[in-house]
Amino acid sequence: MILATTEGIAGKAIVETLGVVRGNTIRARHIGKDIKALFRHVIGGEIGEYTKLMAESREQALDRLVQNATEVGANAVVGLRLTTAQLMGGAAELLAYGTAVIVE
């Protein structure tokens, strides 16, 4: 599956547009990791606990997007975007979406 943030793929012709596909995940923070993150915030530096959580969330959302695109018969997704939204204190959604296409 080819994933592109652009509206097309260099060297490929889009022969069919199949529609919007998406993949999302909702994750909550862990209180133990929040305590570690609080200390890191006080002394400065990267908050590795949250970096790892966001990386895992991105991968899960992209995996689900690819699954959705495969289900509709696509071999590529163009116009790929990622967005986040806070649903409640300590929980957030990460959404990946784009346009499923067939390319030659």
The model's pLDDT over 14-67, given as tens digits with 9 standing for 90+, comes to: 999 999 999 999 988 666 666 666 666 667 677 777 788 889 999 999 999 999
Q: Looking at residue 40, what is its pLDDT?
A: 62
Does residue 51 lie within any of the structural domains? no
β-strands 2-3, 76-88 pairing: parallel
Of residues 46 and 6, more confidently modeled:
6
Q: Looking at residue 53, what is its pLDDT?
A: 84
Does residue 44 lie within any of the structural domains? no
Locus of tokens 């899960």: 60
Of residues 77 and 54, more confidently modeled:
77
Q: Is 69 helix (H, G, I), strand (E, B) or coil?
A: helix
What is the domain-level CATH number for residue 73?
Answer: 3.30.110.70
Q: Looking at residue 89, what is its pLDDT?
A: 72
Does residue 74 lie within any of the structural domains? yes
Q: Is 90 helix (H, G, I), strand (E, B) or coil?
A: coil
Q: Looking at residue 88, what is its pLDDT?
A: 76
Does residue 65 lie within any of the structural domains? yes
CB atoms within 10 A of CB 100: 26
Q: Looking at residue 76, what is its pLDDT?
A: 98
Q: Looking at residue 87, what is its pLDDT?
A: 80
Order of strands, edge to edge, in the sheet holding 2-3? Answer: 2-3, 76-88, 91-103, 14-28
The count of structural domains within the chain is: 1
Does residue 70 lie within any of the structural domains? yes
Instruction: Supply the range of the domain harboring residue 80.
Output: 2-28+56-103
Tell me how far apart the 2 most distant CA atoms of the chain are, in Å. Answer: 54
Q: What pTM was estimated for this model as a whole?
A: 0.84
